[in-house]
Amino acid sequence: MHAMACKPEWFTGGTPTVNFHGPPMGDIKILIPSAAFEDARVAAEQAAADWASALGRTITVQAGYGTCGSTDPLCIGFKNDHGSLPTDTGCASFGTASYNPTTGEWTESTNIRFEPNWTGGHQQNLRLTIAHELGHYFGLFNRLDATCTASNTVMGAGSCYAAQAPPSGTALGPTPSDAAALLNSTFGNQVRSTCGW
């Protein structure tokens, strides 16, 4: 049983219900598609390093520019089409892919989706935004329980492209609570439960 604050929320759906998530093994790569996304590189590298440390995985932002091959669920790209789908709210989102209905694992590459005019934001806001979207890749949903704060989860709300830095104490990467929700799941890498939290 975990005695942490901030109730975990998992990104679930389908019939039968599964927890959507990236493959639990293998090196993850993040690809910057073009020079237009260069401003996000350092923030992506920091977010990747934070999640790598939290989960004990290898996550790297590749040098140069490229687009994920669609067959690679270990590859995460960038897009600037947030706002083009009826479900789009907030300032950024996680671009889903098809998934394995038995395990919930992504079977194709996914994307971090920015708004079309996303540039100019403070690097810490970008870092937090990318870390948040990577949290969705790993299977976390937004964590908006009353016990959740900007300092105990990266899966809350943020100001994606604000020019001023986030308030002092804001978690810029996954917190112990975020990592624990993924690492200490009672139900392996499928449907996770909030039992015990």
Please give the Cα distance from 147 to 75 (Å, whole number): 33
Q: Is 58 in the site for other proteins (CB under 8 A)?
A: no
Edge-to-edge strand ranges of the sheet holding 28-30: 59-61, 28-30, 75-79, 110-114, 92-95
Q: Which residues are 19's β-sheet partners?
A: 12
Per CB under 8 A, which of residues 137..166 are in contact with other proteins?
Answer: 141-142, 144-145, 157
From candidates 64, 167, 169, 196, binder to other proteins by CB under 8 A: 64
Please give the Cα distance from 155 to 97 (Å, whole number): 20
Q: Is 12 in the site for other proteins (CB under 8 A)?
A: yes
From candidates 28, 32, 154, 182, binder to other proteins by CB under 8 A: 32
Closest to 41 measured CA to CA, from 74, 69, 66:
66
Minimum distance between the CB of residue 142 and other proteins, rounded to whole angstroms?
Answer: 6
Minimum distance between the CB of residue 119 and other proteins, rounded to whole angstroms?
Answer: 20
Segment lying near other proteins (by CB under 8 A), choices 13-21, 49-57, 120-128, 185-193: 13-21
How buried is 38 (Cβ within 10 angstroms: 0-12 exposed, 13-18 middle, 19+ buried)?
exposed
Q: Is 117 in the site for other proteins (CB under 8 A)?
A: no
Q: Is 71 in the site for other proteins (CB under 8 A)?
A: yes
3-class DSSP state of 125:
helix
Compute φ and ψ for 180, nearest 5 degrees.
Answer: -60, -35
Minimum distance between the CB of residue 70 and other proteins, rounded to whole angstroms?
Answer: 3
Please give the Cα distance from 23 to 38 (Å, whole number): 27
Q: Can you give the binding site for other proteins, defined by CB under 8 A?
A: 11-14, 20, 29, 31-32, 62-71, 75, 77, 81, 83-90, 93-99, 101, 108-109, 113, 136, 141-142, 144-145, 157
